[in-house]
């Protein structure tokens, strides 16, 4: 878990909330089960969450995914595409990779208005990850 | 490397504003 600790130290601000003593905060953020990991910006707006502890690679990829989503949500298309591409390249076997491959295309479309970039990344996702839910959902694009 | 958990949610938000990083809030149960 050393790699995860380094990732946390370098890329996020970590905070732990005991749901039994932080009841209001847990209720406010609609946390139904533990452990839940929420990724929030400085205004408290949530950009990503997952439930349960994960192996190091998956955990790290989820942290990176949160950063890519937050960049997307603030319209930073180039930064978001770069972050998604990094996930796809460095963590290709993780659960975060298939959707990252897809969102690269969406970011490119947002930036260039070239809709073909979405279709290309849909095909790429379905080709690389045919058994993943993201590959299945994008398999209709020929 | 130990994880430097922030002492409160407000402190975490303040540090997020200062650094531009997202807060990773782990909601856990002691059981």
Q: What pLDDT, on a 0 to 100 scale, did the predictor assign at position B1? A: 73
Residue contact B5–A16, C-beta within 8 A:
yes
pLDDT digits (tens, 9 = 90+) for B1-31: 789 999 999 999 999 999 999 999 999 998 7
Asked if A2 reaches chain B (Cβ–Cβ under 8 Å), the answer is yes
pLDDT digits (tens, 9 = 90+) for A67-105: 999 999 999 999 999 999 999 999 999 999 999 999 999
Q: Measured between alpha carbons, how far is A134 from A131 in angstroms, rounded to an integer?
A: 8
Kindly indicate whether the ipTM for this predicted assembly is greater than 0.85, answering yes or no.
yes
DSSP letters spanning A53-117: ---HHHHHHHHHHHHHHHHHHTT-HHHHHHHHHHHHHH-TTSTHHHHHHHHHHHHHHHHH--THH
What residues in B contact A23, CB-CB < 8 Å? none
pTM over 0.90: yes
Chain A, chain B: beta-carbon pairs less than 8 Å apart: 109
Residue contact A15–B6, C-beta within 8 A:
yes
Q: What pLDDT, on a 0 to 100 scale, did the predictor assign at position A2? A: 86
Domain A2-138 classification at class level: mainly alpha
């Amino acid at each position: 878990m050393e790699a995860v600790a380094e990732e946390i130290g370098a890329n996020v601000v970590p905070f732990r909330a005991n749901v039994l003593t932080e009841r209001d905060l847990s209720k406010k953020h609609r946390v139904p089960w533990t452990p839940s990991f929420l990724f929030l910006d400085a205004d408290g707006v949530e950009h990503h969450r997952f439930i349960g502890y994960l192996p190091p690679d998956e955990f790290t990829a989820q942290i990176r995914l949160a950063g890519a989503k937050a960049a997307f949500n603030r319209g930073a298309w180039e930064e978001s595409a770069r972050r998604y591409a990094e996930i796809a390249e460095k963590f290709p076997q993780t659960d975060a990779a298939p959707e990252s491959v897809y969102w690269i295309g969406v970011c490119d479309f947002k930036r260039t208005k070239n809709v073909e970039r979405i279709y290309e990344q849909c095909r790429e996702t379905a080709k690389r990850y045919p058994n993943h839910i993201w590959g299945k959902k994008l398999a209709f694009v020929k | 490397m130990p994880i430097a958990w922030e002492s409160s949610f407000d402190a975490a938000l303040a540090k997020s504003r200062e650094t531009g990083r997202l807060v990773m809030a782990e909601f856990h149960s002691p059981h």
